[in-house]
Amino acid sequence: EPSALAAAEAAAVAALSFSAAKVRVEEVKATKSAEVAALENLKLAAVAARDAPRPPKAAPPRGISGPAQPGKPPPRQVLAQRIGAVAVAPEWEMAKVSPRIWSSGAGQWPAGGRQAAKPPWVKVQRQHPEPQPLMNVKQEHTAPPWPAKKQRVFY
C-alpha cells in the first residue's frame, strides 16, 4: 500500500528534521554558554592580575643619589684646600703663618709677570690714580715748555 508507505516515510522525515533542528538549537545554546563562561573566566583572570601583589620598585641607581650631605659644613681650611685658595683666618691666627712660607713663592715669577702674593699681615694700600679730566671739559691752554715750530703754509 503506497499510502501507508508514504505516511511512514513522511513521519520518518519529520522525525529526522525535528531531531536535526533540536540538535542545532542545543549547539547554539552550548556555544552561548561556552562564550559566557569564557568571558567570566577572562573577567576573573583580570581581577586576579589586578589584585596580585606586585614586586617592590627597584631602588634608584647609586650614582644619581650621590653621597649623603654632612651634618655641618666643613671648616674654612678644608674648603680652602678643596678650591686651592688660602684659608681666611682671623687676625690672631695670622701670626702662626711663617713669613718664610710666604716669601718662598715670591721669586718664581719674573719681575714683569705676576705680582707675588702678599702675606696676610701686610696691609696692601690701594694707590688711587690721579683723577683724569673729563673729555668734554675745555682745558686752559698752556704753552709747552719747548719752542713751537713754525708751520709752513702751502698755497
Burial 14-49 (b: 16+ CB within 10 A, else e): eeeeeeeeeeeeeeeeeeeeeeeeeeeeeeeeeeee
The answer to whether 120 and 93 have CB atoms below 8 angstroms apart is no
Span 69-107, pLDDT tens digits: 777 777 777 777 777 666 555 555 555 556 665 555 544
C-beta neighbour count of 63 within 10 angstroms:
6
Q: How much of the chain, in percent, has pLDDT values that exceed 90?
A: 25
The confidence band for 35, taking pLDDT boundaries of 50, 70 and 90, is very high
* SS3 label, residue 7: helix
- Contact partners, residue 124, CB within 8 Å, separation at least 6: 118
pLDDT at 17: 94
The answer to whether 93 and 99 have CB atoms below 8 angstroms apart is no
